[in-house]
Amino acid sequence: MNIHSPSLRSGPDERGHFGQFGGRYVAETLMPLILDLETHYRAAQADPAFEAEFDDLLKNYVGRPSPLYFAESLTRHLAKLAADAGQPGNGAKIYLKRDELNHTGAHKINNCIGQILLAKRMGKTRIIAETGAGQHGVATATVAARFGLPCVIYMGSRDIERQAPNVFRMKLLGAEVRAVESGSKTLKDAMNEALRDWVTNVHDTFYIIGTAAGPHPYPELVRNFQSVIGREARAQILEAEGRLPDVLVAAIGGGSNAIGLFHPFLDDADVRMVGVEAAGHGLATGEHAASLIGGSPGVLHGNKTMLLQDDDGQITEAHSISAGLDYPGIGPEHAWLHAIGRVDYQSATDDDAMEAFKLLCKVEGIIPALEPAHAMAAVMRMAPAMAADRLIIANMCGRGDKDIFTVANVLGVKL
C-alpha cells in the first residue's frame, strides 16, 4: 500500500467513523457498555484461541466454507437472452456464493456465532436481540440454545403477526419472544426496545445486533465476522478462474451480507461492486426500503447513516416484499462507500425480485430467499450486456423456504 492511496479497508477510525458516518450516538448510560464491549472485542481479535473457536464452529456447526457455484444454466439462459435481443455482449459468467446452504439457511448465523463467543468471553449469561422478519431472531435463538444461554428476542407485534413460522421456530429453540407495541410495531421499534433492555440489564446481558449497524464497534465487528464470505469467495474464484471477479453483487437490508462479501475486495480497484436495495413498489411511490438512493443523512440506533425519514426527521416506514430488507436505515460503512462512490448502489422492485426468484427456481433448481432475489434481479439486468469472459459473483445469502407463503400469496396460490 502506498501513502497516496490509503486502504479502503482500514476503517472505521478509533471513534467508529467511516467518513462522516458511523460513530456512537448513544445515551450516556449506554456509553460504558459500548466501551466495555470494544475493549473485549479488541482482546478477542488479538487472541488466536478466539479465532480458532470461531473457525471451528463455522466449519462444523454452520457448514462452511459455502461453495462458490458456477451457475452454468443461468449463465447460458442470460447469454441466450442477450443473443436474442441482439445485445453487444454475450453474457457474463455467473457464480453464486452459496451462503443459503449454511445452518439456519442464511448468512446471519456467521455473525451470531462471533457475537455469542464474545458474550461468553465477557462472562455474560443472558442474550438479547431484535428481529424484524425473524431471521436474526432464529439465528440468535439457535446459538443461544447451542451455548445454553437464556435468550429474549424483541419483535414488533405487527411482525409477530406476519411471521408466525419464525416466531414458532424461536420458541422451539427455547427463546422468549417479547412483543413490542411502540411506534410502527416493527424492526426499528424492536431495536429501540433491545437497546433499552441492554442498558437496564448490562451486568449479565449481551446484545447480539443482527446487521452491520448500531453504535461503534457493532458495524465493525459484524462486518469482520461476515467477511468470511468475501475471504472464501476470493480464494474460491482464484482457484476456479485464476483471477479476481469483475463484479460482486449483493442485496442490502442493513448491509451485513453485502459488506461481508465486499470488504475483502475493497482495495481491488478493478473489482466493481453493486449493492442492491429494495425498491418495493417503486422508488417514485415512496413505498420502498432504499435508504441510500431514496434517503437522507440522520441518526438512528446509535450511528449516523442514511435513513428514510420525513422533513421533521421522523423515521418513515420501509416497504419491501422481502421482510429482511425493510429496514429504514443502512450500516454506516455503506453510507460512506456510497458517498465516495466505491460501490454502485442500485435497486430492484418487488416485481423485479419476483421475476428473478422464478427464474432461479426454474433454471438452476435453487429456491432463493426474496432478499438475494433482489441481487439476482440486478444480475439479470447487467449480465446480458457483458462479455462472455467477464465474471460475476452474486451472494446467495438465504434460501427461500421462509418465503414460500409470501410468494404463494403473490402468485395467487392458496397453501
Ligand X SMILES: *Cc1c(COP(=O)(O)O)cnc(C)c1O
Residues found near ligand X in the complex (CB under 6 A): 106, 108, 135, 211, 251-257, 324-325, 369, 371, 397-398
- Distance from C-alpha of 408 to C-alpha of 415, rounded to nearest angstrom: 7
Q: Which three cell numbers stand for residue 140?
A: 440468535
Q: Cell 421522523, residue?
A: 314
How far apart are CB 371 and ligand X at their closest, in Å?
Answer: 3
Q: Among 316, 257, 251, which Cα is nearest to 111's?
A: 257
| In the complex, least distance from residue 394 CB atom to ligand X, rounded to whole angstroms | 12
Residue among 133 and 271 whose Cβ is closer to ligand X: 133
If we measure between CA atoms, which residue out of 294, 260, 296 comes closest to residue 277?
Answer: 294
Using alpha carbons, select from 333, 321, 291, 324 the residue that is nearest to residue 398: 324
* 90 vs 256, beta carbon nearer ligand X: 256
Nearer to ligand X, 82 or 323 (CB): 323
For the CB of residue 180, give the shortest distance to ligand X in the complex, in Å.
Answer: 18
Q: Looking at beta carbons only, is 217 or 398 nearer to ligand X?
A: 398
**Amino acid (one-letter) located at 303:** N
Rank residues 128 and 252 by Cβ distance to ligand X and give the closer one: 252
Q: How far is CA 306 from CA 11, 117, 183, 289, in A?
A: 18, 30, 20, 11
- Chain center to CA of 26: 23
Measure the CA angle with vertex 318, ends 317 and 323; round to 5°: 125
CB of 376 to ligand X, least distance (A): 12
Residue 368 C-beta: closest distance to ligand X, Å: 9
Query: 340-363 as b/e, with b when 16 or more CB fall inside 10 Å?
Result: eeebbbbbbbbebbbbbbebbeeb
Nearer to ligand X, 79 or 356 (CB): 356
Q: Compute the distance between CA of residue 212 and CA of residue 255 in angstroms, rounded to an integer.
A: 6
Q: Report how far residue 140's alpha carbon sits from residue 101's, in angstroms, rounded to the nearest whole number.
A: 17
Q: Closer CB to ligand X, residue 93 or residue 374?
A: 374
Q: Which is nearer to ligand X, 211 or 236 (CB)?
A: 211
Q: Smallest distance from the beta carbon of 386 to ligand X, in angstroms?
A: 24
Query: What residue type is 280 in one-letter code?
Result: G
Q: Which residue is nearest to ligand X (CB)?
A: 398
Q: Closest distance between ligand X and the C-beta of residue 406, in Å?
A: 13
Please, which residues bridge with residue 250 across strands?
Answer: 275
Smallest distance from ligand X to CB 251, Å:
5
Quote the CA–CA distance of 61 and 109 in Å, as a whole number: 10
